[in-house]
Chain A
Amino acid sequence: MAEILIKNVAKSFGSFKALHSIDLEIADQEFMVLLGASGCGKTTLLRIVAGLETPTQGEVWIGGRRVDHLPPRERGIAMVFQNYAVFPHLTVFENIAFGLRMKKLPQADIDRRVTRTAELMHIEQLLKRYSGQLSGGQRQRVAVARALAMEPDVILMDEPLSNLDALLRLEMRAELKGVLAASKTTTIYVTHDQVEAMSLADRISVMNQGRIVQAATPVEVYRNPAARFVGSFIGNPPMNFIPAMKAGEGKWTVAGITIDGPRAGRDRLDFAIRPEDVDVAPGGLKATARVVEPLGAHTLVTTDIEGAMFRAVLDSDIRVSPGDELSLVPKPDRVRWFDPETTAAV
């Protein structure tokens, strides 16, 4: 059992606050992805769990044991680094065996574990090679094998796929998911790539400016963003936002039409809808098409509603040209509302 508990962790570098009081629980065997733009603090948080960075305040617990004062090697973790950190002076075999040798395991155990993880990562034919003789993808596999060979309670991954080309990334992503699920370890995975996050995670923690904005399942994060930032960060193209004015109890005026909304004690809210959640039908938002991009499965139409950009993902059968007027009706159950001041969901 290795659940991870992060309690009130903060980190400052000089006067710069990299993390503001983070609280996060990660269940045993859960795959947690920390997602955010660069500089949001996700890597710092991962390094604090690893023990490579000391938190300014707060506690880190792994498997019921407080670890924030322990060196990395006593935390029961393994890590995959962004640049792999495969030791250039050691063969692939010795790289995978590195942690096992440090644990002083018997040679027979080392041989068995290295062979098994190498087979798992399909690098058994590379064991005698040096890192300099490997491709990026192969190095990545060695780095993962080295972590798995430790049979750790927790695997930490810092943007492990970001240095691979697109095709390889797709392949490794699927493979990682399978391998890690089978290994039954708790995983924290840092990435800035939302597709990677959505496809791998049991839960995603969306981070922004040193805070966790939302920690929930991928579908929840996508469908019910806890804050405007999450809606605009996740999804490609991102969520559309239009300012709305109160038109009565539970009624809101959005770009000239009235829509049912929350009974909030405010005069203004932000109306939000995902680009794929609108239909072309009479009585909707009046939009002027600006750019039409047929993408095969569907057509992405960038429009203009009262001077603001609004994107719609429409069926590819639709005939639209730039300059055309469209009427876009939002699906009522997919409409979300945000407080313009706090940016939180209403």
Chain B
Amino acid sequence: MTPRFLPYALLLPATLFLLVFFLYPFVQIAVLAFSGPDGFTLQHVQTMTSHWKFGTALTNTIVLALIVVPIQLVMALSMATIVTKLRTGRSAILYIFTIPLGLSDLAAGIIWLAIFEQSGFLNSLLYGLGIIERPILFLGYQNIWVIFIAVVLAEVWRATAIVMVILVSGMGLIPKEYYEAAEVFGASPWKRFVKITLPMLRPSLQSALILRTLAAFEVFAVVIALGGTTLPVLMGETFQWQFALQDRNVASAYALVILAISVVSTLFFLRVLRVPKEARI
């Protein structure tokens, strides 16, 4: 075999695997979502959109992503900036920051449930301090916004580190000389961050944001753990229709909605954070 074809040959097994186990199910789901007994139909999509939970689930999912991802971005940027400036103990700090990455999202949800539930840490603390007379039901349907905040907290706590790790490695790729040049030519630390770090970090920002936003659209276990079905999200509804309501067609339609917003957001980040070829390092 000629060396020219060798890389393709080596990639072939993985490509086949992806085709069989991703593309094929994907096509099946698309078929399921749009087919009925008489062939093509939009009936499942209508069932989905006319259900009262659809609008709420879509809004909740998007609003959650719109809140969680920017918070994570700002936190990860600050943390990464501090970490890259460290001379000693850098890897120790990195390990500590990345501990939550080792947890499954369900475990993370349960940890935060232990804090917020009626007999949880927060109630015990407030009761112990004499601030409240009896435990409060934080995660009830009367105050969905508390569930919402709890989910945001859990998500930020759990998944900020992945953004930070990507940004730390990205910052490491920016040559020190650019910072020194900026410093000599009058840039304050903040200006250096805005004029050098951010623009030169665009490739890493792009990967981190795409990765995080897609994961945010798929938020599920944390929401289930903290709010059950009180706070509907797209992934939760997909699960509901598939297993509780035993309607695979509508579940497939939900899956396609998640896919659609994921594709749109990915294209958005690819476009906005694009680095022209001539402007790369």
Contacts and interface: CB of A to CB of B under 8 A. Distances in A.
Interface stretch (B106-114, B183-191, B233-241): B183-191
Interface stretch (A83-91, A110-118, A190-198, A319-327): A83-91
Contact of B200 (A79, A85, A88): A88
A85 B178 contact: yes
A73 B185 contact: yes
B181 interface: yes
Contacts of A132: 277-280
Interface string A65-80: 0000001110001110
A72 B188 CA distance: 10
B25 interface: no
A47 to B, nearest CB: 8
A81 B199 contact: no
A17 interface: no
A81 B184 CA distance: 11
A133 interface: yes
A133 B182 CA distance: 21
A81 B180 contact: yes
A11 interface: no
A131 B195 CA distance: 16
Central interface residue in B185, B202, B276, by most chain A CB within 10 Å: B185
Contact of B184 (A73, A87, A89, A130): A73
Contacts of B278: 129-130, 132-133
B136 interface: no
Contacts of A235: none
Given A130-B276, A130-B279, A85 B181 contact: yes
A99 interface: yes
A189 B277 CA distance: 34
Contacts of B92: none
A73 B183 contact: yes
B217 to A, nearest CB: 30
A72 B182 CA distance: 10
B244 interface: no
A102 B185 CA distance: 7
A87 B180 contact: no
B180 A52 contact: yes
Interface string B165-190: 00000000001011011111111100
Interface string B190-204: 010001100110100
Nearest to A146: B185
Nearest to B178: A85
Given A52-B180, A81-B180, A102-B191, A88 B280 contact: yes
A150 interface: yes
A130 B275 CA distance: 12
Given A88-B281, A89-B279, A73 B180 contact: no
A50 interface: yes
Determine the main DSSP class of B at the interface with A: helix
A88 B195 CA distance: 12
Interface residues of A, number: 27
B185 A81 contact: no
A150 B182 CA distance: 13
Interface residues on B, range: 20 to 34
Nearest to A73: B186
A83 B277 contact: no
Given A85-B177, A85-B178, A130-B276, A52 B184 contact: yes
Interface string B263-281: 0000000000001111111
A83 to B, nearest CB: 6
B186 A81 contact: no
A98 B185 contact: yes
Contacts of B281: 88
A103 interface: yes
Nearest to B196: A87
Interface string A10-29: 00000000000000000000
A132 B276 CA distance: 10
A87 B181 contact: yes
Interface in A36-84: 50-52, 71-73, 77-79, 81, 83
Contacts of B280: 88, 132
Contacts of A88: 200, 279-281
A346 B3 CA distance: 68
A170 to B, nearest CB: 25
Contacts of B184: 50-52, 72-73, 77-79
A52 B187 CA distance: 13
B199 A85 contact: no
Given A87-B196, A88-B200, A71 B183 contact: yes
A114 B202 CA distance: 27
Contacts of B181: 79, 81, 85, 87
B275 A99 contact: no
Interface in A301-338: none
Interface string A117-158: 000000000000111110000000000001000100000000
Contacts of B275: 89
A126 to B, nearest CB: 12
Contact of A72 (B177, B183, B202, B276): B183
Nearest to B179: A85
Interface in A141-188: 146, 150
B198 to A, nearest CB: 10
Contacts of A130: 276, 278-279
24 contacts: A51-B183, A51-B184, A52-B183, A71-B183, A81-B180, A83-B177, A85-B175, A85-B181, A87-B178, A87-B181, A87-B182, A88-B200, A88-B279, A88-B280, A89-B202, A90-B279, A99-B185, A102-B191, A103-B186, A129-B278, A130-B279, A132-B277, A132-B280, A146-B185
